[in-house]
């Protein structure tokens, strides 16, 4: 089963690290990601650019409103996503609990894990409705 993991990071904590600490942190994280890949658990993932590059879209007054920055004003922002392949939630927790990023500490990082939704039925039903409308 796939689990979508949202990695949160406090950019202020990141800025307090020395270059050596940052390099060690990154190297340990990538080494663990490689271990997950090697064992067939890393199904995908990407890091995200700084929150200054974020744009948030909302529906407001019957139109799309575009604002700079992340949706929430919190200390931790999403820093990346990972898609894990795990047998169940307990397995996903065990895999991610060993990720070195959690050791950033001082409120510096956390992970949110959610099972991926199987959208197959909803997609199929939507296509059937759409095809039915096209025939009329």
Q: What is the pLDDT of residues 112-135, one digit of tens each?
A: 999 999 999 999 999 999 998 765
Enumerate residues 6+ apart whose C-beta is below 8 A from 77.
8, 9, 10, 11, 51, 54, 70
In this prediction, what percent of the chain has a pLDDT beyond 70? Answer: 91
| pLDDT on residue 15 | 87
At residue 69, the 3 state secondary structure works out as coil
Helix (H) / strand (E) element for 93: namely: helix 89-97
How many beta carbons lie within 10 A of that of residue 38, not counting itself?
A: 9
| pLDDT on residue 69 | 72
Q: Which of 29, 15, 30 is nearest to 106 (CA)?
A: 15
Q: Is the pLDDT of residue 136 over 60?
A: no
CA 5 to CA 33: how far, in whole Å?
A: 13
Of 86 and 75, the structure prediction assigns the larger pLDDT to 86
Enumerate residues 6+ apart whose C-beta is below 8 A from 78.
6, 7, 8, 9, 48, 70
* Band of residue 74 on the pLDDT scale cut at 50, 70, 90: low
Domains and CATH numbers, the chain: 2-135 (3.30.70.1060)
Mean pLDDT of 16-24: 92
| pLDDT on residue 135 | 58
């Amino acid at each position: 089963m796939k689990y979508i993991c949202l990695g949160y990071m406090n950019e202020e904590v990141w800025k307090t690290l020395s270059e050596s600490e940052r390099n060690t942190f990154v190297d340990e994280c990538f080494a663990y990601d490689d271990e997950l890949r090697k064992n067939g658990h890393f199904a995908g993932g990407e890091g995200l650019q700084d929150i200054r590059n974020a744009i948030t879209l909302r529906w407001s007054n019957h139109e799309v409103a575009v604002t700079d920055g992340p949706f929430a004003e919190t200390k931790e922002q999403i820093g990346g996503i990972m898609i894990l392949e795990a047998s169940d939630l307990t397995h996903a927790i065990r895999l991610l609990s060993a990720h070195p990023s959690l050791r950033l500490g001082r409120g510096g990082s956390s992970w949110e894990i959610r099972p991926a939704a199987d959208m197959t039925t909803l997609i199929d039903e939507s296509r059937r409705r759409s095809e039915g409308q096209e025939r009329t």
